[in-house]
Amino acid sequence: MAFALNLYPVTYIARYNPETTKWDEEWFQVDSVTYDELMAMGEDERKAVLDKRNQMGIPTVSYTSQYAYGCFEGMKGFPTKDGGVAIFRPEENGKRFNNSMKGLYCPAFPVEQFVAASVEFVKRNAALGYVPKYNADWEKTGYADADSIYMRPFMNSEGAIGVGCSRQPYVVICATTVSAYFKKGLDGAVITNRIRATPNGTGYIKCASNYVISAIAKHEAEVKGFVECVYLDAVEHKYFQEGSSCNVFFVLKDGTLVTPELGDTILPGITRKSVIALAKECGMNVEERKVSLAEVQKNAVEFFVTGTAAGISPMTSLTDLDGKKVDFKDGTQEGTVAYKLQRLLKGRQYGLLEDPNNWNTVVIPGKN
């Protein structure tokens, strides 16, 4: 299980008020229990936990629960080497969240409110002890097993049953602890014949409905023994789009780093944007353009996927629909581009390295 549902106790909720056109904010504190713990409880105890959660007023039947009409963000808070806590580029998540809301014809959620609520969210949970502590041992493995706070801001519609757009949405921020993103024991990526996003569709926003197809395609890949599925474009089925919920990068024989250009079928990843910036800082040649399967099979030496949850995850191989498999360099090894970029990105996130671009929003200042 990649994400155990063990919510942090403090949850933020903002309700849109169409009369004032403002978002009314509230904070809730609920018991942090896992699903298994909840099920193991006696009836009275379980009811008490659920009653508290229900006070948040999220409706059972809504555009979100019925039609996957909703959007979300994935964002991380990192314990830093100086003993503090920082959120990585929250204003970027705020902008993308706003764009998703716009794409769904929802009232805008101000970026400043998003960032302020995220900062306050981490502070309130930290005050209750829900904050990972920096561990210098993480440095030895390049933060491969390091802890962080995984935040999930999301939108849920008001109670509704007919197909429609939300007029009074809720914005919730909650968080969970995270462990490994990819299943252990599986290996390599496989091309899926499924279509994630079509032109004029919703692939460019982080909306809930997009992930139904990803759940199906990733399941199909895992059943075949692969750790990840990769989508090609909807029209020609020739050019790379993304992984199940990550962007894709390839290193070509001449050292060029290529990634599919953004458009209305690709989610603009913040890790993607950061990786491009870091690679350019290192003097690498970076190209955002169409990348075909044929080109990669012939000319790529490394393949990795990027995302907030996945970080920079190297893929060992790629298998196409005809079963043709190409192997790539092991990107967890020193000397590869994936290794180098991963160390740089994590080093900045965990405050081991300087943060020259001011990507970290400090929530709790460090002491040393």
Ligand X SMILES: *Cc1c(COP(=O)(O)O)cnc(C)c1O
Q: Which is nearer to ligand X, 233 or 242 (CB)?
A: 242
In terms of Cβ atoms closer than 10 Å to its own Cβ (0-12, 13-18, 19+), residue 241 is: buried
Which of 40, 24, 23, 175 shows the shortest CA–CA distance to 101?
Answer: 23
Whole-number Å distance between alpha carbons of 263 and 256: 21
Helical ranges in 224-325 per DSSP H: 270-281, 293-299
In terms of Cβ atoms closer than 10 Å to its own Cβ (0-12, 13-18, 19+), residue 316 is: middle
Does the footprint of ligand X cover residue 90 (CB under 6 A)? no
Q: 199: how many CB neighbours lie within 10 A of its CB?
A: 11
Interface pick for ligand X out of 14, 104, 206, 276 (rule CB under 6 A): 206
Q: How many residues bind ligand X (CB under 6 A)?
A: 14
Q: How many CA atoms lie within 13 A of 295 on its CB side?
A: 19
Interface pick for ligand X out of 94, 307, 311, 331 (rule CB under 6 A): 307
Q: Which is nearer to ligand X, 15 or 95 (CB)?
A: 95
Does the footprint of ligand X cover residue 278 (CB under 6 A)? no
Helical ranges in 210-251 per DSSP H: 210-223
The span of 118-126, 169-177, 244-252, 288-296 binding ligand X (CB under 6 A) equals 244-252
Whole-number Å distance between alpha carbons of 285 and 70: 37
Report, in Å, the least distance between residue 272 CB and ligand X.
Answer: 6
The span of 109-117, 151-159, 238-246, 331-339 binding ligand X (CB under 6 A) equals 238-246
Element (H, E) at 5: none
Does the footprint of ligand X cover residue 77 (CB under 6 A)? no
Report, in Å, the least distance between residue 307 CB and ligand X.
Answer: 4
Report, in Å, the least distance between residue 73 CB and ligand X.
Answer: 8
Does the footprint of ligand X cover residue 248 (CB under 6 A)? no
**Which amino acid belongs to residue 307?**
G
Element (H, E) at 114: helix 111-127
Which of 149, 92, 136 shows the shortest CA–CA distance to 115?
Answer: 92
Q: Which is nearer to ligand X, 96 or 329 (CB)?
A: 96
Does the footprint of ligand X cover residue 188 (CB under 6 A)? no
Whole-number Å distance between alpha carbons of 151 and 172: 10
- 308 to 367, contacts with ligand X by CB under 6 A? 308
Does the footprint of ligand X cover residue 259 (CB under 6 A)? no
Q: Which is nearer to ligand X, 242 or 302 (CB)?
A: 242
Whole-number Å distance between alpha carbons of 237 and 246: 18
Q: Which is nearer to ligand X, 192 or 308 (CB)?
A: 308
Does the footprint of ligand X cover residue 218 (CB under 6 A)? no
Does the footprint of ligand X cover residue 175 (CB under 6 A)? no
Report, in Å, the least distance between residue 248 CB and ligand X.
Answer: 9
Binding site for ligand X (CB under 6 A): 74, 206, 242, 245-247, 267, 269-272, 306-308
